[in-house]
């Protein structure tokens, strides 16, 4: 049961997170075969993001978070959930920054752009993590709103319904980003590590962030 939950099944398909990754990529293939090239490209791009997350060996929780976020965004768009479910847009605008902002911070830490969450344990360090992670999440939301605005103008979509809708989305993006920042601070505070752990094997981390 432990192995079923924590994974490390095989080198190719390690766990349920990899299964979800394959579902996203498989969805892209299905859409391509059926001639829906826009949907295929969209899902394919999001699937590639999850593959990159796998390659950088994120902790399982953050690997899962990013993969779930990409699945929500991808299938929500291609299956029409935004139109069919009244509050699906609200859900995505909260969860996407919450789940992706900590991952972006960890990726930047791997590149030595920001401090590693494990480097220090004093209050200022945690405050800095919170502020930067929140700013990253808010930026993700703002960039998405810019995409919606330009997509409506250039591609004829109807993603941006009104100024009130945009402002509401930005509020939910901000709340999600703050939640994600708080979760990353808690993760760092309790020293749960920033790379994927293999039960019974990892005794220390040799990868920063």
- What is the Cα–Cα distance from 151 to 108, expressed in whole angstroms? 28
Assigned domain for 209 exists: no
Shared-domain flag, residues 100 and 188? yes
Q: How sure is the predictor about 38, in pLDDT bands with cuts at 50, 70 and 90?
A: confident
Shared-domain flag, residues 168 and 113? yes
Assigned domain for 77 exists: no
Shared-domain flag, residues 90 and 191? yes
Assigned domain for 202 exists: no
**Greatest Cα pair distance in the chain:** 55
Assigned domain for 66 exists: no
**3-state secondary structure labels for all residues of the chain:** CHHHHHCCCCCCCCCHHHHHHHHHHHHHHHHHHCCCHHHHHHHHHHHHHHHHHHHCCCCHHHHHHHHHHHHHHHHHHHCCHHHHCCCHHHHHHHHHHHHHHHHHHHHHHHCCCCCCCCCCCCHHHHHHHHHHHHHHHHHHHHHHHHHHHHHHHHHCCCCCCCHHHHHHHHHHHHHHHHHHHHHHHHHHHCCCCCCCCCCCCCCCCCCCC
Q: Which residue has the tokens 């192995």?
A: 3
**Burial (CB count within 10 angstroms: exposed 0-12, middle 13-18, buried 19+), residue 58:** buried
For the segment 125-139, what is each residue's pLDDT rounded down to a tens digit?
Answer: 999 999 999 999 999
Assigned domain for 128 exists: yes
Shared-domain flag, residues 104 and 52? no
Shared-domain flag, residues 50 and 137? no
The whole-chain average pLDDT of the chain stands at 87
Q: Which domain holds residue 185?
A: 86-195
9: Cβ–Cβ under 8 A, 6 or more apart, which residues? 3, 15
Q: How sure is the predictor about 58, in pLDDT bands with cuts at 50, 70 and 90?
A: confident
Rounded percentage of the chain residues whose pLDDT exceeds 70: 87
- What is the Cα–Cα distance from 148 to 159, expressed in whole angstroms? 5
Shared-domain flag, residues 107 and 175? yes
| Contact (CB, 8 A) for 139 and 170 | no
For the segment 92-105, what is each residue's pLDDT rounded down to a tens digit?
Answer: 999 999 999 999 99
Shared-domain flag, residues 56 and 90? no
Rounded to 5 degrees, what angle do the CA atoms 129, 135, 59 make?
A: 50
pLDDT value at residue 203: 42
Question: Which token pair is 37?
Answer: 């090239």
Assigned domain for 24 exists: yes
Q: How sure is the predictor about 28, in pLDDT bands with cuts at 50, 70 and 90?
A: very high
pTM: 0.80
Assigned domain for 203 exists: no
Shared-domain flag, residues 108 and 187? yes
Shared-domain flag, residues 56 and 99? no
Shared-domain flag, residues 33 and 125? no
- What is the Cα–Cα distance from 118 to 208, expressed in whole angstroms? 8
Count of the separate structural domains present in the chain: 2
Shared-domain flag, residues 52 and 94? no
Assigned domain for 72 exists: no
Shared-domain flag, residues 160 and 94? yes
């Amino acid at each position: 049961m432990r192995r079923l939950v924590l994974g490390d099944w095989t080198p190719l398909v390690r766990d349920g997170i990899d299964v979800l990754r394959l579902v996203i990529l498989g969805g892209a293939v299905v859409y391509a075969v059926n001639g829906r090239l826009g949907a295929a490209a969209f899902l394919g791009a999001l699937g590639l993001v999850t593959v990159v997350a796998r390659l950088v060996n994120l902790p399982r929780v953050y690997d899962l978070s990013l993969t779930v976020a990409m699945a929500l965004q991808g299938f929500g768009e291609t299956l029409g959930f935004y139109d069919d479910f009244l509050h699906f847009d609200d859900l995505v605008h909260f969860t996407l920054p919450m789940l992706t902002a900590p991952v972006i911070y960890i990726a930047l830490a791997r590149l030595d752009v920001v401090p590693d969450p494990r480097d220090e344990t004093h209050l200022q360090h945690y405050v800095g993590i919170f502020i930067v992670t929140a700013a990253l999440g808010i930026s993700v939301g703002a960039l998405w709103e810019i995409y919606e605005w330009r997509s409506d103008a250039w591609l004829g979509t109807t993603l941006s319904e009104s100024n009130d809708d945009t402002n509401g989305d930005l509020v939910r993006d901000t709340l999600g980003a703050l939640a994600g920042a708080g979760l990353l601070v808690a993760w760092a505070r309790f020293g749960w590590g920033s790379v994927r752990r293999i039960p019974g094997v990892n005794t220390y981390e040799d990868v920063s962030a």
